Structure 1
Amino acid sequence: MTQQLDLFADLASDPAPVPATFAAPPKPQAVKQAPRPKAVPTIEPSPQQPRRSSGPRPVREPHRRALEIGEAVAARWHNLHGGTAIEVPIGVVAALCLIRQKDLQGPDLKEQILNQDGPQLICMLREIWSTHWLHRPDLIDRARILHEWLNDDVDRHREHAVRAITETALRQGLLDLTGHEDPYLRSATDVLSPVMTSMRSHGAQKGLGEYHTPAPIAEALSEMITLENLADFKLALLPPKQGMHLHDPCAGSGGLLRAAAQRIREHGADPKNFQWSMVDIDPIAAACAAVNAIVWELGPRVTVACADALANPKAVEDAMKEARAVFEHRDEVFGKASAIAGIRKMQRLLESIAA
C-alpha cells in the first residue's frame, strides 16, 4: 500500500550533522539540487480512500488564503472554548505545515489525516515533531512551546479541539499552500503569521509590541533590500552573493526573510547557500520562525533566537551555543538508542542460535 505522509522530504535515515552555521562558514558552492532520500512512512491508507491525479496546485492570492486560514482557525478554537493556550492550535497548524504528500498519484493526504480519530491524530502530531527533531533538533527545540503540550496526557476536550482545528485548517486549503514539493511554492506566503495574530487579541498584540509586516509589503521591501542592502551587508550587484548572512533582529515569524529567500531563488541562487538568523522576543513568534525555516528550506545555516535584540546584541551567538548543545544531546540520545538496538539484535541472534 502506498504511504502518503511525507514528514520531511530531506530527512535522512541517520541524524543530520551539526549545521555549518555552528562551525566555520562554508565556501560558496554552485547551486545544485540535493538528492531527496526516502521519507519516513506514518499513515496506512485505506484502499477505499479517494485517489488524486496531481498534487497541490499554486494558489492565487496566497496571502489572502493564509489570512482566511488564520481567521478560521481562531474562530473555531474560540467557538470550542479552547482556552488561553493558543500554542495548541498554532502548534497543530505548524505540524501540518511540516508534511506533504509523497505520492501524487496515491490516496489523498488530507483525507487520510481527516479519517483519523482523536488518539490517532495526537500520535501523528507527536511523530511529526519527533521525526523533525532528529533532523533539526535546534529548530524543533526552539519551537518547543508549540509541541511540549503533547508530552502530557491529552484529555477528551483538547483532543476534540485539536481534531476540529486540523479539520478547519485542511478544509481551508492549508496543504494547497504548504504541501508542495517545490520550496518556492511552499514559500509563497507565511501561514503561521496570520494564525498567530488571529489567535491573539488586539490588546495582547499591542502589549507585546507585535506588528507583523504584511506579506505584500515584505515582498516589496525584500526586492529593494536585495538590490540595496540587508542587515548591514551590501548587496550592490545581482545575484546576491552566496554565503552572505541575512539577519532580522525583530523577525516575528520570519516574513521578511521569507520574501528575501524568494527573491534569491528568483535570481537563480539557492537560500541554502546563505546564512540566516532571526531574533524575536516572543517565544511563540520565535517558534513559528523556526518551523518556517524548515518549511521554506532556508538550509542548514539557520539560527533562531528568542531574546530582546536591543538588550542582548549577542542573541544570535548565544542561540548558536544553545544549538550546539542541542545537537550534542541529539547525538548522545541517538548513540544510546543505536547501542540498545545493537544489543537487542545480538540477543535475538544468540536466542536463534540456541534454539
Structure 2
Amino acid sequence: MNDHRHRSGKASAGNPISAEAHALTLAVEVASAWHRGGGSDRPEVPLGIVATIAAAGLLVGRADDVATGMLSASPEDFVDIARTVWAATSSRRPDLAQSVYPLLGWLFADNDQALRQRIKDAADAALRAGQLELTATERRFDCDVLGPLLGALRSRTATKVNAQMYTPGDIACALTAVALDDVKPGQSFCDVAVGTGGLFRAAACVVRNRGLDPADMSWFGADVDELAIAAAAVNGLIWGLGPNVFLYAGDILARPHWADEACRARARFLEEVNRLNNGVKLLDFLKKL
C-alpha cells in the first residue's frame, strides 16, 4: 500500500465508509498533528495546508504524484510547493484569491524552523489520512473537508468535531432537494449563514442530479467568520461552483446590502488585478492589501 493512503479511516472492501466519515477522520488527524506541535493555535494555517493539498490535486490531476511529491518534500520545500500551487491557482481563478487569502498568510511569513516543521507534520497527516482520495476524485462532491477541520481545530483537544456548526450532508441534501422545485441555469442561491458552504454543496448536488452545471449558477454567501468564508471560497473551487461565487465576511444585520457590496468589492479587486504589470505576481499584490 502506498504510504499516502488513508489509514485509520480508510474504507476496506467489506467495510466502506462514507466520504463524510472520512472527512471527519481527516479533520481529527490533521488537528491532532497540528496541536501536538505546540505553539499558538493559528487555525488558519492547518486550514490553509488542507486547502493547498486540495488545490494541488485539482491542478495536477494525479493524486499519487501529488502525494509522493509532498510527502518527500522537506518543510522548506513544502512551503515552496504551496506558493507555486497558489500562484497557479490564483492565476487561473483570480476571482477566488481575495476571499481565500486569510488562509495563505503563512506562505509569506518569516516562519521559524519549528513552525515549518509543524506545517509539514500537518500536511503529512492530511496526506496519510487520505485527503487526496476526497479532494482529487469525484468524492470531492460528497463532503466538506474544511468545515469539520475548522470545528476540530477550535475544540483544541481535537477529540471530536463540533458537529453543531455544520448541517449533516444527507440532511442538507434532502432539505435542499425539497426546497428547489424548479432549478434553471443562471439561478442564484443565497445563504446568509454560509459557514464553510455546506448548503451550497447540497444545492450543487441537486443541480447536478437535474442535469445542470453548478458553474452556470450564482452563489451568494455571508458569515461573520472570516476563516469560514475563506474555507467556503476553497470549497467553491473543490465543488466546481464556478466563477460566480460572491462571499461576504461581516455582520449582515449591519450591512443589509451585503450582496451588492460583495459584488462591487470583487469587481474592484479584479480591476486592480487586470492592471497589474506582467512581472507582478497576484499573490505579491495580495500581500500589499
Query: Could you tell me the TM-score, scaled by structure 2's length?
Result: 0.84
1:316 Cα deviation after fit: 1.5
Partner secondary structure for residue 247 of structure 1: strand
In the other structure, the counterpart of 1:325 is: 268
The one of 62, 69, 82 equivalent to 2:19 is 62
Give the equivalent residue in structure 1 for 2:152.
198
Q: Which aligned pairs between 1:1-355 and structure 2 lie closer than 5 A?
A: 60-100=17-57, 102=60, 108-180=65-137, 182=138, 185-201=139-155, 211-227=165-181, 235=182, 240-335=183-278, 337=280
Letter paired with 1:243? G
- Does structure 2 retain, via aligned residues, the 8 Å contact 1:250–1:309? no
Query: For residues 233 and 64 of structure 2, what CA distance do their matches in structure 1 show?
Result: 30
Contact persistence 2:172–2:202 (CA under 8 A):
yes
Higher helix fraction (1 or 2): 2
Check whether the contact 2:99–2:233 (CA below 8 A) recurs between aligned residues. Answer: yes
Q: Tell me, what secondary structure is at the counterpart of 1:246?
A: strand
d(CA) in 1 for partners of 2:124, 2:270: 34
For 1:286, the aligned partner's letter is I
Residues 140-174 of structure 1: CA deviation (Å, up to 9, x unaligned): 21121100222111210111001100110011110
Q: Offset of 1:334 from its aligned partner?
A: 4.4
Letter in 2 for 1:299: G
Q: 1:63 to 1:152 in 2, by over 3 A?
A: same
Give me the whole-angstrom Cα distance separating, in 2, the residues matched to 1:108 and 1:82: 31
For these two proteins, the number of residue pairs brought into alignment is 262
Q: Unaligned 5+ residue runs, structure 2? A: 4-10, 157-163, 282-289
Q: Do 2:223 and 2:249's aligned partners in 1 also have CA atoms closer than 8 Å?
A: yes
* Displacement after TM superposition at 1:197 (Å): 0.6
Instruction: Write the distance in 2 (CA, Å) between the matches of 1:314 and 1:220.
Output: 30
- Which amino acid in the other structure matches residue 208 of structure 2? R
Unaligned segments of structure 1, at least 5 residues: 1-48, 51-56, 203-209, 228-234, 339-355
- 1:223-269 CA-partner distances (Å, limit 9, x unpaired): 22223xxxxxxx3xxxx111111111100000001111011101111
1:7 corresponds to: none
Task: Describe the shift of the 1:150–1:337 C-alpha distance in structure 2 as closer, same or farther (beyond 3 A).
Answer: closer
TM value normalised by structure 1: 0.69
Larger of the two Rg values belongs to structure:
1
Q: Deviations over 1:206-227 (max 9, x none)?
A: xxxx822222221221222223
Secondary structure of the structure 2 residue equivalent to 1:304: strand
- 2:23 and 2:148 in contact (8 A); partners too: yes
Equivalent residues of 1:82, 1:161 under 8 A apart: no
Distance in structure 1 (CA, Å) of the matches to 2:235 and 2:154: 19
CA deviations 1:308-337 (Å, max 9, x no partner) are 122212112111111112111211124465
For each residue in 1:37-64, what CA deviation from the matched residue of structure 2 results, as whole angstroms up to 9, or x when unmatched? xxxxxxxxxxxx99xxxxxx9x740000
Report the AA paired with residue 140 of structure 1.
Answer: A
Contact 2:71 2:124 in 1 (8 A): yes
TM-superposed deviation, 1:195? 0.5
CA contact (8 A) 1:91 1:146 kept: yes
CA distance in 2 between counterparts of 1:317 and 1:264 reads: 24
In structure 2, relative to structure 1, the CA distance for the partners of 1:103 and 1:306 (3 Å cut) is closer
CA RMSD of aligned residues (A): 2.4
Per-residue displacement from partner, 1:269-305 (whole Å, max 9, x unpaired)? 1111111111111000000001111111111111111
Letter in 1 for 2:202: A
Q: Which AA in structure 2 matches 1:285?
A: A
Residues 1:79 and 1:337: Cα distance change in structure 2 (over 3 Å): closer
Contact 1:133 1:141 in 2 (8 A): no
